[in-house]
Amino acid sequence: MINLYIVYFFLLSFVGYIYECLAMVLWTGKWDNRGFLFGPIIPIYGFGALAGTLLFTYGYRNYTPLSVFIIAVVASAILEYIVHWALEKMFHAYWWDYSMAPLNINGRISLLTSLGFGVAGLLIVYVVNPFIIPLLRKISPVTLQIMALVMVALFSADLTLTISVLSSFINRVKRIDDMINQTMDDFVNNHISDSLKLEDKFFGAMDKIDVVRRKIINDRIDKADKNEVAFYKRFLYRIRGFRGENKDALNRILSRIKGENRNE
């Protein structure tokens, strides 16, 4: 049974990926490669579907459509908030932002999306599971085990690569930003010493700092290896923004990359 649920987890993670990409096609008119990982899965969907399936199969069996909907709304909101918070704490980045949606909490969850997940919970319990679980049970135990092992191996490799790439990118930007800040310190001191009015000293320096900072960041991107930049682009385009330390430099690079992708 464990292998069955492992395969089920990855199948629903893939379904979640397809759902998000198609939703973005309807919303923006173009395909948007969604998710945290390189591969075509979004684990939060698989985890939520698996947790609900286990709950309604082995725990709360006297469920009704209303109870399924309420549990799915509440549980999805809690899960989505925790995952958003954890990713932000670990990587100072976020992959979705509901700040513009009504009744949102810190941009991490919103009432409308949670209600949507409530409907998804109904579909999983009453439509998806009655179809997909009997199909998985028809697969031989040996085949299921092989499928589970392959999927876990691919997932582990993808997760390792994703964490490595993101950590490497953030560390490189931090080094660049530290260098820029040191350059800016010297620049501000020289600029202020030549200014006459206090307002000119402050606002003039800030304007020039921003121009110089943008130029340095753009020069760094232009001078970087093209294959390396393309590799980062494919990953970074999924990120919605950065917070925390070095967020200004990270967000400027992200804006530059997304701007280039829109023009391609």
Strands, E assignment, the chain:
93-94, 104-105, 109-110, 241-242
List the pLDDT tens digit at each of the 264 positions of the chain. Answer: 899 999 999 999 999 999 888 887 887 777 777 788 888 999 999 999 999 999 999 888 889 999 999 999 999 999 999 999 998 888 888 888 899 889 999 999 999 999 999 999 999 999 999 999 999 999 999 999 999 999 999 999 999 988 888 887 777 777 766 666 665 555 555 555 554 444 454 445 555 556 665 666 666 555 554 555 566 666 777 788 888 776 776 777 777 666 655 555
Please tell me the total count of domains within the chain: 2
What range does the domain containing 258 cover?
163-263
The model's pTM? 0.79
Where does a domain end: 139, 173, 206? 139
Contacts of 145 (CB under 8 A, 6+ apart): 3
Nearest of 123, 145, 197 to residue 4 by alpha carbon: 145
Q: Is residue 156 part of a domain?
A: no
Q: Is residue 145 part of a domain?
A: no
